[in-house]
Amino acid sequence: MHVTAIIAAGGRGQRFGGAQPKQLLEIGGRAILERSVTAFLTHPDVNAVVVALPADLAAAPPDYLRPGRKPLRIVVGGDRRQDSVANAFRAAGPQTEVIVVHDAARPFASADLIARTIAAAAESGAALAAVQSRDTVKRVGAAGAAHNLVTETLARDTIYLAQTPQAFRREVLALALARTADATDEAALAEQAGHAVRIVDGEAANIKITTADDLPIAEAIAAAIDRDVTERAPFRRAIRTGRAGTGYDLHRMVDGRPLILGGVSIPSDRGALGHSDADVVCHAATDAILGAACLGDIGRHFPDTEARWKDASSLDLLRRAVALIAEQGLEVGNIDVTVILERPKIKDHVDAMRAAVAGAIGIDTSRVSIKGKTNEGVDAVGRGEAIAAHAIALVRSRS
């Protein structure tokens, strides 16, 4: 699933005041905009980022908005928030399937919140982060003499306070942005377009910096986050010098299917049944690599519910997994795969399989181990009804 993040930073924060745009203000030594953009540039579920800025800032953007490991585009914002988002939407790549929109003025959205919002939108079409009201909510009269008089007390268990990120399947956001009425967020436009919008539990720390009164709270949150990062840094460096992950895959063996192992076609009257080419070597290796980088499993990134992975080469899926961990600054150190299969014997094909897997990962063949075992006639694998593979991968920081 290809995800593009839009960072809405096209306004000047007039309610905040000050000589410079609010998003350039530093919180804990880093600009609000830098913190917001970095949260998405470093997120494993996000493939590209588009930032909407005021025209003068778009013409001379800060250094931290230069493209890096992920595509980053800058567009000029519009008069309204929805105009800025629409400009950024048009700049999203045609391969984009889900778009997640985030206010630049919310610099503390966690990686978990971003992931949950994207997943909810992929499933439901539209989703937004929101927190349930903790206070009793009062409705007052319209502006004028009755404005300070309570007209109604609302049940707080039905009241949610909207945050960002807000995420949408591409076609849903396109219809929402086609609406001409003013709205304070994209979820409201999606509602106007007739789409149900799903609530994802937001975070108390995910505050929006709107006025100068928000700065003391923002500074405290930034200090807590940065202190946590600093304290964990030695541990993270130690872990990333060598992180292990395990993988497992199993497929039924059926007549009439080719048997592909490690990208190599093995002579056999039966092959593995699966949505892709059912290559258990590559599938187990892919799971191990993703697991070592804490990026989920093969089903999360290449689900068998998507037509584009039908009959896909599992060597290609393996390459894509390696690219995903590279975005996190990681590379594969070595990998060990055990294939469990009664017949045919694979020993004569192991060297070709090792070479193919090594080529897909981008490492020397000497760092890939593949070996075959039988299950001694025990269970479905032992009866020849299935094939399985176990893998262990070591990933490390790229030097």
* Domain C-terminal end among 205, 237, 269: 237
CA distance 184 to 80: 9
- In this structure, the answer to whether residues 172 and 261 fall within a common structural domain is no
* Domain C-terminal end among 237, 260, 283: 237
CATH code (residue 290): 3.30.1330.50
Distances (CA, A) of 95 to 10, 47, 104, 399: 24, 10, 24, 31
- In this structure, the answer to whether residues 177 and 197 fall within a common structural domain is yes
Of the candidates 337, 376, 336, 348, the one whose C-alpha atom is nearest the C-alpha of residue 268 is: 348
**pLDDT in 10s for each residue of the chain, 399 residues:** 899 999 998 776 555 556 677 788 888 888 999 999 999 998 989 999 999 999 888 888 888 887 677 899 999 988 888 889 999 999 998 999 999 999 999 999 988 899 999 999 999 999 999 988 878 888 888 766 566 788 888 888 888 999 999 999 999 999 989 888 888 888 999 998 899 999 999 888 898 988 887 888 888 888 877 776 655 554 444 444 467 788 898 999 999 899 999 999 999 989 888 888 889 999 999 999 998 888 888 888 888 777 777 878 889 899 999 999 888 888 898 899 999 998 899 889 999 999 999 999 998 888 899 999 988 888 888 888 999 999 988 888 765
- In this structure, the answer to whether residues 88 and 129 fall within a common structural domain is yes
In a domain, 143, yes or no: no
7, β-bridge pairs: 51, 102
What was the pLDDT predicted at 98?
95
- In this structure, the answer to whether residues 265 and 377 fall within a common structural domain is yes
In a domain, 43, yes or no: yes
In a domain, 194, yes or no: yes
In a domain, 368, yes or no: yes
Structural domain of 287: 242-397
What was the pLDDT predicted at 37?
93
- In this structure, the answer to whether residues 160 and 46 fall within a common structural domain is yes
What was the pLDDT predicted at 230?
58
Task: For the sheet with 126-132, list strands across it.
Answer: 72-76, 48-53, 3-8, 98-103, 160-169, 126-132, 198-201
CA distance 53 to 91: 13
In a domain, 142, yes or no: no
In a domain, 141, yes or no: no
Domain count, the chain: 2
- In this structure, the answer to whether residues 219 and 344 fall within a common structural domain is no
User: In whole angstroms, how large is the CA radius of gyration of the chain?
Assistant: 25
277, β-bridge pairs: none
- In this structure, the answer to whether residues 210 and 260 fall within a common structural domain is no
What was the pLDDT predicted at 357?
94
Q: Quick one: tokens of 238?
A: 């130690």
- In this structure, the answer to whether residues 295 and 175 fall within a common structural domain is no
In a domain, 202, yes or no: yes
DSSP three-state, residue 146: coil
Identify the residue whose tokens are 């966690």: 110
CATH code (residue 10): 3.90.550.10
- In this structure, the answer to whether residues 53 and 87 fall within a common structural domain is yes
Strands 368-373 and 330-340: parallel
Q: Is the pTM of this model over 0.95?
A: no
What was the pLDDT predicted at 117?
94
With left for phi above 0 and alpha for psi between -120 and 50, is residue 326 left, alpha or beta? alpha
DSSP three-state, residue 12: coil
Strands 3-8 and 48-53: parallel
- In this structure, the answer to whether residues 118 and 201 fall within a common structural domain is yes
* CB neighbour list of residue 194: distance below 8 Å, 6 or more residues apart: none
With left for phi above 0 and alpha for psi between -120 and 50, is residue 38 left, alpha or beta? alpha
In a domain, 144, yes or no: no
* Domain C-terminal end among 180, 204, 237: 237
Total residue length of the chain: 399
Distances (CA, A) of 333 to 103, 282, 289, 391, 393: 38, 16, 10, 13, 8
- In this structure, the answer to whether residues 207 and 250 fall within a common structural domain is no
Identify the residue whose tokens are 């592909």: 260
- In this structure, the answer to whether residues 102 and 155 fall within a common structural domain is yes
What was the pLDDT predicted at 89?
92
